[in-house]
Amino acid sequence: MFFCAISGEPPQDPVVSQKSGNVYERRLILKYITENGTDPITGDKLEESDLIEIKASPKTTAPRPPSASSIPALLQTLQNEWDAAMLEVFTLKQQNNSLKQELSVSLYTQDAATRVVARLIRERDAAREALASVSATMGVSRANGAGGDVEMAEVADAGGLPEATLNQIDETHKTLSAARKKRKVPAGYVTQDEVKTFTAKHTIPSLHASSPSGVTALAVSLTNPSQFLTGGNDKIVELYDRSTDKVVASLKGHTKKINYVAFREREGESTLLLSGGADKIAKAWSYDEAANDYIPKGTIRTHKGEITGLVVHPTSTILALSSTDHTYSLHDLNTFEQVYRSPEAEEPFTSLAVHPDGTLLAVGTPASTIQIFDIRSGAVAASLTPSSGVPFTVDTLSFSENGYHLLAPGSSSSAAIWDLRKPKLAHSIDLGEGFKTQKVLYDYSAQFLGIAGSEGIRVFAYKTWEELARFEEASDAGDLVFADNGKEIWGVSGRDVRIWGLPA
């Protein structure tokens, strides 16, 4: 530490005399030289050129000034720091008290809301019991009025299927399983060699609104193959006639995008147009001759999560729904009443398929697992999990029409064929790293399987697993249908419905 020979304090800009070796503050020694021309200590002649600058490190902390080094100054500094600390503690205490008051108000509000909800639930249950008593006394049941839109409230989980519904399922199972064992490929059905020659036949462009754009679901009528049903991101269901290239009906009622559409076509009964959406509801429409238009027939609001699967049961009298609320449900298509609701599972359900005989129901989950239930009892018949180890969402499923296999995603970029007789994985089809599966489907003959996804539509042969056709023009295909004895393949891409078939 240097001290100025004149002031006795540490210099801010130190210099040293090369004659006497004394250290000075630059400004003080320069002033003295100007006035006297000599060294203030030795009295020898001294000039500015005799001074040498001392370069101190810039990181050196400047010494505390003498005014702050005294005991009174140190006590004042400590007092100031103590006052600042006390003010900060006081502010924190005020903030803490304010937070306690806000928390108390929030807890009181929550308690009040809980009490109100509990009271409303008790009143609702009492009203339901009263309604059930009145209905039983009068011998009537709540049924859908003609042409009415049934707005279903929350329904309690069913304890089991009604006896009439069980009888319908059993009779359908006996009839279909017996016929399936003897069934052969229908006459005139498409062959593998013919599928290899498929080319683009027709495109129906610009369906649904352009904002938000996109067709999300497709169904083709079996009784009138020129008509098909589409659902879109624009919350609308459209019935289209291919022969006239016109929209027959534009059906509204959903508040979010449509996930699934389907026809219910049964001899002797009116055709139902069905849809399920991200708004947690399923809707039904049918043609009314008096109105000369399609009118709402029923709305199902039993689920608390998005509808992720919609399938008409082989009886044609039951509608199966799956949802992200961890349950699936069955509904009577005559009254739209719920006849069964599954207990809540551990995982949400992301897809749904019904066995062609009508006794099994499969649901997919976000954890790669496929659960298969016995519809009649609600019990788990099998649980299928691929061994890839990388979780993915099973968002599409399809039973083979012979009833022996189940087609599903095997990973984010592969398809898996499960043998239900074992049960075990029978085969896996690698689709490439860039392929994202969006729909898998067996054809009616169980000879072909189709896969729609991010790179178009691909068709494979059963058993040989040969790729028979690839339609890349349908980029980002979201759905597909086999139609006209397998001689046509329909797919959706963007706002277009595309049809491929035998060359003219």
- DSSP line for 227-280: EEEEEETTS-EEEEETTTTEEEEEE---SS-EEEEEEE--TTS--EEEEEETTS
The predicted pLDDT at position 146 comes to 38
Lowest mean pLDDT across 13-27, 115-129, 344-358: 115-129
Residue range 114-133, pLDDT digits in tens: 999 988 888 887 777 766 65
> Per-residue pLDDT averaged across 241-260, rounded?
94
Domain definitions of the chain by residue range: 1-59, 163-501
Half-sphere exposure of 404 (CA within 13 A, CB side): 9
Lowest mean pLDDT across 8-22, 52-66, 308-322: 52-66
> Per-residue pLDDT averaged across 313-341, rounded?
95
The predicted pLDDT at position 136 comes to 46
Amino acid occupying residue 262? A
Distance, CA of 494 to CA of 478 (rounded, Å): 8
| Cβ atoms of residues 247 and 240 within 8 Å | yes
Q: Is the pLDDT of residue 142 over 60?
A: no
The predicted pLDDT at position 390 comes to 79
> Per-residue pLDDT averaged across 227-236, rounded?
95
Q: Is the pLDDT of residue 181 over 60?
A: yes
| Mean of all residue pLDDT scores within the chain | 88
pTM for the complete prediction?
A: 0.68
The answer as to CATH 2.130.10.10 being correct for domain 163-501 is yes
Distance, CA of 456 to CA of 489 (rounded, Å): 12
Of the candidates 410, 481, 404, 400, the one whose C-alpha atom is nearest the C-alpha of residue 447 is 400
Q: Is the pLDDT of residue 319 over 70?
A: yes
Half-sphere exposure of 417 (CA within 13 A, CB side): 22
| Cβ atoms of residues 163 and 456 within 8 Å | no
Burial (0-12, 13-18, 19+ Cβ within 10 Å), 206 = exposed
CATH architecture of structural domain 1-59: 2-Layer Sandwich (3.30)
pLDDT band at 307 (very low <50, low <70, confident <90, very high): very high
| Cβ atoms of residues 326 and 344 within 8 Å | yes
Which residues are bridge partners to 299 per DSSP?
151, 283
Tokens standing for residue 128: 């339901």
- Give pairs for 161-169: CB < 8 Å, separation 24+: 161/330, 161/339, 161/340, 161/375, 161/376, 162/339, 165/318, 165/330, 165/332, 165/339, 165/340, 166/376, 168/315, 168/317, 168/318, 169/313, 169/315, 169/318, 169/358, 169/359, 169/375, 169/376
Q: Is the pLDDT of residue 152 over 70?
A: no
Q: Is the pLDDT of residue 487 over 60?
A: yes
The predicted pLDDT at position 158 comes to 41
Residue range 403-448, pLDDT digits in tens: 899 999 998 889 999 999 888 999 999 999 889 999 999 999 989 9
